């Protein structure tokens, strides 16, 4: 999904004469705005209404304007994303289908886990060999028209495997789902991407946009995307890091290593801090395989599994 700022909504808050007197009285007695806000929250005011209400009196007073009378416009903050326990297991090792995968680093907000030894060098080479003849110029869905359009066709190419389409792919589907602590049937088909020199993936979200028709239809069939596991299939000579601009994190690709991150919780919220992108490859090429996990069994539509669901800004 393309990057959007969280929606801010402004509402009108009625001010009773007793509330007005209480605010003015406390301001004159030198009560701190933070304490007044807390008192209002204690009286069941929405936190952003309480902050906006007190703020409107403070800013009017500071500017020498008349204090608000009967009502005031207040900006409502969007509800904060609630972080839950990471779906990947705790500890230094993750055991998945007979493989021991080493945990290198973890971040909690957003949940990001760096993994070592998700795939062997031979498996990376085999996957590249299987994907190469099926690569097509990468496309994304234009949010304005709904059409598939080509992104920079010289610099990034991709293909999808059907879930469990052969024993090798089935083994990878099972292993990656086990690492993600989700049923294999909830996983989308593996996508292999190849970036040439200059190739990049602008920052975006992997979760689906419930406000777009295609996103809503896909969520209705298979649930929201809840997490991503990228495995780097080669050592990139220059650039090609996966970056998380909201947290200032940059992950260097190493063959066989995995990058897991999640962005949806049981409250159906999605995490705006999970924005991520692929930095330009400055030397050589970059190959990755991506597993996207759904909250329910993945039921593809005709276009899914063929083109993917990333949406261009
Ligand atoms: O190639 C990457 O590092 C990258 C960056 C952002 C991959 C994806 N997103 C993805 O596969 O979703
Ligand atoms: Zn992505």
Distance 17 CA to ligand 2 centre (A): 52
Distance 70 CA to ligand 2 centre (A): 48
pLDDT digits (tens, 9 = 90+) for 74-108: 888 778 999 999 999 889 999 999 999 999 999 99
Q: Token pair 């005709």 is at which residue?
A: 302
pLDDT above 50 (res 267):
yes
Ligand closest to the CA atom of residue 287: 1
Q: What angle, 0 to 180 degrees and rounded to 10, lies between the N-to-C axes of helices 167-179 and 121-131?
A: 120
Average confidence score pLDDT of the chain? 90
More confident residue, 6 or 163: 163
Residue nearest to atom 10 of ligand 1 (CA): 290
pLDDT digits (tens, 9 = 90+) for 224-257: 999 999 999 999 999 999 999 999 999 999 999 9
- How high is the pLDDT of residue 303? 62
- How high is the pLDDT of residue 48? 83
Q: Please give the Cα distance from 250 to 292 (Å, whole number).
A: 20
Structure tokens at 190: 């593996």
Q: Please give the Cα distance from 87 to 295 (Å, whole number).
A: 12
Distance 201 CA to ligand 1 centre (A): 6
- How high is the pLDDT of residue 306? 46
Pocket probe for ligand 1: among 139, 201, 252, 310, the residue whose CB has the most ligand atoms within 8 Å is 201
For the segment 255-281, the average pLDDT, to the nearest whole number, is 96
For the segment 185-203, the average pLDDT, to the nearest whole number, is 96
pLDDT above 50 (res 5):
no
For the segment 175-202, the average pLDDT, to the nearest whole number, is 97
pLDDT above 90 (res 152):
no
Backbone torsion region of residue 212, taken as left when φ is above 0, otherwise alpha when ψ lies between -120 and 50, otherwise beta? beta
With 0.85 as the threshold, say if the pTM is over it.
Answer: no
Atom of ligand 1 nearest to the CA of 206: 12
- How high is the pLDDT of residue 144? 59
Would the CB of 276 count as within 6 Å of ligand 1? yes
């Amino acid at each position: 999904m393309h990057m959007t700022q969280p929606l801010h909504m402004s509402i009108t808050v009625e001010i009773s004469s007793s509330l007005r007197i209480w605010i003015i009285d406390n301001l004159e007695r030198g009560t701190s705005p933070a304490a007044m806000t807390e008192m209002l929250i204690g009286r069941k005011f929405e936190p952003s209404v309480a902050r906006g209400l007190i703020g409107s009196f403070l800013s009017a007073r500071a500017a020498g304007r008349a204090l608000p009378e009967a009502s005031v416009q207040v900006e409502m903050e969007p509800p904060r994303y609630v972080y839950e326990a990471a779906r990947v297991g705790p500890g230094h090792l993750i055991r998945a289908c007979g493989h021991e995968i080493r945990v290198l680093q973890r971040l909690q907000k957003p949940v990001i886990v760096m993994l070592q030894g998700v795939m062997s060098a031979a498996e990376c080479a085999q996957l590249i060999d299987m994907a190469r003849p099926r690569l097509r110029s990468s496309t994304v869905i234009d949010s304005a028209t709904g059409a598939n359009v080509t992104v920079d066709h010289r610099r990034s190419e991709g293909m999808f495997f059907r879930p469990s389409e052969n024993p090798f792919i089935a083994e990878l589907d099972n292993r990656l789902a086990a690492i993600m602590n989700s049923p294999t049937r909830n996983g989308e088909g593996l996508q292999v991407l190849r970036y040439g020199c200059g190739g990049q993936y602008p920052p975006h979200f992997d979760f689906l946009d419930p406000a777009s028709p295609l996103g809503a239809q896909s969520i209705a069939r298979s649930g929201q995307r809840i997490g991503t596991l990228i495995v780097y299939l080669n050592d990139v000579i220059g650039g090609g890091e996966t970056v998380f601009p909201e947290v200032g994190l940059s992950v260097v690709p190493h063959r066989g290593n995995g990058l897991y991150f999640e962005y949806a919780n049981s409250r159906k919220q999605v995490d705006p801090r999970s924005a991520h992108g692929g930095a330009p490859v400055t030397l050589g090429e970059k190959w990755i395989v991506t597993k996207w996990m759904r909250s329910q069994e993945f039921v593809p539509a005709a276009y899914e599994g063929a083109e993917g669901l990333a949406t261009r800004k």
